Amino acid sequence: MDDRLRETLSAMMDDEADELSVRRLLSHDSQDEVRAQWQRWQDVRDLMHDGHSPVHGMDVSVAVRELLDGRGSATARPDPAVQDSKAGRWHWPAAAMVAMALLVGFGAGAGWDSSGAGPVQPVTAAAPETPVQDQPIREIALQGLDEEQWEYMSRYLLEHAQHNSVGAGRGAVGYARLVSANGVGY
Amino acid sequence: MPQAFIDILRCGALSLLVGLLLTLAGSLPAAADEDEASAWLERLGPALNMTSYRGVFVYARGESVHSMQIAHRYNDGVVEERLVLQDGGSGEIVRKGMNVVCVLPETGRVQLDQVIPSGPFAEAFTSQLMPVNRWYRAEMKGEDRVAGYDVVSLALSAKDPYRYSHRLWLEKSTGLLVKSHVRNAEGEVLEQFQFTSLHIGEDIPDSEFEIRTKGREISRTLDEPTPAASVVQRMNGWQLGWRPEGFMPAAAPRSGKGQAVAFSDGLAAFSVFVEPAGPVTMPTGASKIGATTVYMHQVKEGGNAFLVTVVGELPPQTARQVAESVRIEDSLALGAGES
């Protein structure tokens, strides 16, 4: 791991890392190394602050998925792992939380595959009259996609937005979707 | 007690009763309310094209917020429009009638030619009025002020769980859409659009419609509107087993080698793409960007894999249901096996 990455990691500890460097860090080849370093620093910090390391035994992937989806804690589910430990009361800055979970929680590769592993509350849960599939929908966080996958998906987004801008008669809204699709998430 | 006073009391009680009855009666005819909302909706489409205006609006969905400057003029039956991005990379879209020129930032990961609208523009579409009232409950929500203009607000609440609800704010004298919200069943705002500054009027100089950004330009002449009948052609090789009631085939985007069909219920729209699975492995599941859901899944047919993608302003459950209803009937027609 070069100094720049280490610097980013350090900035992340203080929640001062910018998005670009975090992304660079996340796309770093040896994620194990990054993860190990992060965990070491966390442990050190926790020792210094006499706290409990949330890294151990805390499943943050659900919360992170929700963060990534911008749903906040609206669909917070009881998670025994979180409730049992003091870690549940930790208020982490969103950016650090996301970054940490990507590093620690999602496992090697940080790909979409493991990010969508857990059940996510069905969105239509509030509409019990829904006669259809009650099984949870697997959610894919855009941030979990690799570059090729993102490009693939954004092509569809754009084509749909194009149609929207021209077809649905919403004028500026359609255009806005189009432009937004061009830059979404990045 | 003097009789006169009792009379006054009785009179007061009576008028109170009458007043109460009137109030009740006023709240009863929701139908009249719906009629008013419908009348406003009918103005929406034409107003978008035939009003001349300029201003700045913000558009937010998910975590992204964009600000754009727009000038729109309706001149001798020709729509002229110029949109300039106000944040991020510089870029603009200029349209005159059916000619569109895009200058977009090079920083985007997406190739520029994918950004150009390639389908027919709105006029043809908006003229065919959708019976929005069948799928949404229209309701007047009172008056307000947006970007300095008096507006009326109307709520369009989805009558079934298959679509999102909308809230529209229309300028009073022209019917121009100046603000909108897309909300889910919980009332959470997923996507919003709003003018922050606005000037409505014919006096927009020609210079407002000239390209000023330097960069790679891409221009294209839009095709004539595609008749809905050709949907059959575009669905060559596959069938959609289910779609929410009210979504009709609409002007469609042109997909590369695959097949794309778009549907709209007048407010929301979704597109279905069916393509032979490419070299990129895509995950199965739903991604959400504000009100837009992308649902992808793979279908195997005759030894070939196909990627079905549904993109639209739909709840994830609906998108999945649509995607999973796609049946491949003729893999050859879809170009399976070609690289």
Contacting residues of B for A140, CB less than 8 Å apart: 283, 285-287, 296
pLDDT at res. B56: 92
Other Cβ atoms within 10 Å of A16 Cβ, number: 12
- Give me the residues paired with residue B167 across strands: B155, B181
pLDDT tens digits, A1-29: 677 777 776 777 666 666 666 666 666 77
The two three-digit tokens of residue B251, written as one number: 């002007």
Q: What's the rounded Cα separation, in Å, for the pair A46 and B85?
A: 45
Residue B136 Cα distances to A98, B166, B190, B240, angstroms: 38, 9, 18, 23
Measured in angstroms, the CA of A11 and the nearest CA of chain B are apart by: 22
Q: pLDDT per position in chain B (339 positions), as tens?
A: 555 555 655 555 556 555 555 454 544 456 788 888 888 888 877 777 788 999 998 888 877 788 888 888 888 888 888 888 887 767 777 777 767 677 765 544 333 333 333 333 333 334 345 567 788 898 999 999 999 999 999 999 999 999 999 999 999 999 888 998 999 999 999 988 899 999 999 888 888 888 877 666 666 555 544 444 445 555 667 888 999 988 887 655 454 455 677 888 877 888 898 888 888 888 899 998 888 899 999 998 888 889 999 999 899 999 999 999 999 887 776 766 554
Looking at chain A, which residue has its C-alpha nearest residue B324? A133
* Facing B110 at nearest CB: one of A112, A149, A154: A154
Contact status, residue B211 vs residue B94, Cβ threshold 8 Å: yes
- Give me the residues paired with residue B258 across strands: none
The proportion of chain A whose per-residue pLDDT surpasses 70, expressed as a percent, equals: 23
Cβ within 8 Å, pair A176-B68: yes
* Facing A159 at nearest CB: one of B44, B57, B255: B255
Angle between helices A147-167 and A172-183 (to 10 degrees): 170
Cβ within 8 Å, pair B180-A173: yes
What are the extents of the domains in chain A?
3-115, 146-183
Q: What's the rounded Cα separation, in Å, for the pair B326 and A172?
A: 31
- Number of H helices and number of E strands within chain A? 9, 0
Angle between helices A31-48 and A3-13 (to 10 degrees): 40
Intra-chain end-to-end CA distance of chain B, in Å: 100
Tokens 């493991």 map to which residue? A114
DSSP A125: G
Q: What's the rounded Cα separation, in Å, for the pair B31 and B148?
A: 30
Residue B246 Cα distances to A131, B310, B323, angstroms: 17, 17, 17
Cα A117–chain centre separation: 13
Which contiguous run of DSSP H or E holds residue A114?
helix A112-115
B97 touches chain A (CB under 8 A): no
pLDDT at res. A53: 42
Contact status, residue B264 vs residue B307, Cβ threshold 8 Å: no
Other Cβ atoms within 10 Å of B108 Cβ, number: 21
Among candidate residues B215, B204, B209, B143, the one with its CA nearest the CA of residue B179: B143
* Facing B273 at nearest CB: one of A126, A156, A181: A156
B272 touches chain A (CB under 8 A): no
* Facing A171 at nearest CB: one of B48, B250, B284: B48
B309 touches chain A (CB under 8 A): yes
Measured in angstroms, the CA of A156 and the nearest CA of chain B are apart by: 7
Q: What's the rounded Cα separation, in Å, for the pair B78 and B96?
A: 7
- Cα Rg for chain A, rounded, in angstroms? 19
Query: Is residue A72 predicted with pLDDT exceeding 70?
Result: no
Domains and CATH numbers, chain B: 31-221 (2.50.20.10), 228-328 (3.30.200.100)
B175 touches chain A (CB under 8 A): no
For residue B6, the one-letter residue type is: I
* Facing A140 at nearest CB: one of B108, B252, B285: B285
The two three-digit tokens of residue A56, written as one number: 């151990």
Measured in angstroms, the CA of B103 and the nearest CA of chain A are apart by: 11
Cβ within 8 Å, pair B267-A168: yes
* Region for B315 from its dihedrals, namely left if φ exceeds 0, alpha if ψ lies in -120 to 50, beta otherwise: beta
Cβ within 8 Å, pair A169-B122: yes
Other Cβ atoms within 10 Å of A18 Cβ, number: 12
Q: What's the rounded Cα separation, in Å, for the pair B294 and A184?
A: 13
pLDDT at res. B95: 77
Q: What's the rounded Cα separation, in Å, for the pair A56 and A43?
A: 10
Looking at chain B, which residue has its C-alpha nearest residue A184? B64
Cβ within 8 Å, pair A183-B66: yes
Contact status, residue B259 vs residue B237, Cβ threshold 8 Å: yes
What is the ipTM metric for this complex? Answer: 0.74
Q: What's the rounded Cα separation, in Å, for the pair B153 and A177?
A: 22
Cβ within 8 Å, pair B264-A167: yes
pLDDT at res. B125: 37
Q: What's the rounded Cα separation, in Å, for the pair A131 and A104?
A: 38
Contact status, residue B260 vs residue B252, Cβ threshold 8 Å: yes
* Facing A159 at nearest CB: one of B125, B193, B253: B253
